[in-house]
Chains A and B, each alone.
Chain A
């Protein structure tokens, strides 16, 4: 008897990740039919799962890297198959066992994160630079709240406004908060989904150590990806911190009357549910309520929203992989928003912001619609 695949151990890794439910997949195709990739091209999720069941995964297959881990299929799967875990395991076999080649951009990103602690490969020392103008102190023992901005707002000048608006609001509301600057590393959520388990483990350990040493008990995050991993994945590694996303925290401040939103914003605003806030963590209402608290703002719903929301395309490491024009979910979504009459598309995730900003630019829609994080909109209303 000859082994069907030279990567027998590799297959075991995948099967283990899939667990018992994986064996129960009855190949109904609901996942493929649900996957947003099929709005733009063909991606038969079921086929990958079937190959994995049979132990016949083609690790060279580019399809392995498509999944944006948006969770739409998982939410509906009648058998409870953890499709994202299986995707992650297949990628892990490529990235860490070496079964095939990792896409170039992802390889470089992984290297950056591993060495510099952020996907951009920027120096650690400048991680806190965004905060200089905003007068943000360094978190020390006894500070109430740690604000963890996410690498994107920390280093990307175009998205820095999310962190600055958030800091502005916190200052205004008199919240005792700080940042850890150079001591912070990338949360690791996305690089884990891209298959780099060991990088994730070391990032998580380093963050947990930094948080613990500094006496952090509560963390405020701008990114649903940080939220997800801090809340649902760090505890298994010994990191137990209270985590809140800005959408939740802003609503709390507004309800407690620590913020007075007085300036009108007479615009039609649509809200994009980030996959990792909505489907992965069930937070749908808070961001909407925050938006509704802004005087003059008219909140409109997009055709596919909440549980059915279409992903921006940035999860699962896809934010670091180039997506061909014509295949970008964010383009589709932007069109939906424009068609619905939105003048602003509100987001609550730095990845969404990156992707939608890009869509506005490449589709030349800058005069019709703008992309704003909910924190920016609140900051503007104070």
Chain B
């Protein structure tokens, strides 16, 4: 079982968590001004990278908080977890020395 580092509770078993989809997908400040193509992208288009993926997780059976996670989709290594609202970490710097 994976141990996932909750930014509030520390390392906890994977079963306490729920996956929450791609992170840093920002909703337009004024949706009425967004055209269909961009609204479609916001609603439905998601990255599917082989490598580092920024995603939301929720410590559902714990503190209940959503947070963000940078995970390598090849190795399943969780490179970093951080609180929602904190800036997206620099991918190149995160991956240094993490891929087996």
Co-assembled chains A and B:
no
Q: Which residue numbers of B lie inside 8 Å of A, CB to CB?
A: none
Q: Which residue numbers of A lie inside 8 Å of B, CB to CB?
A: none
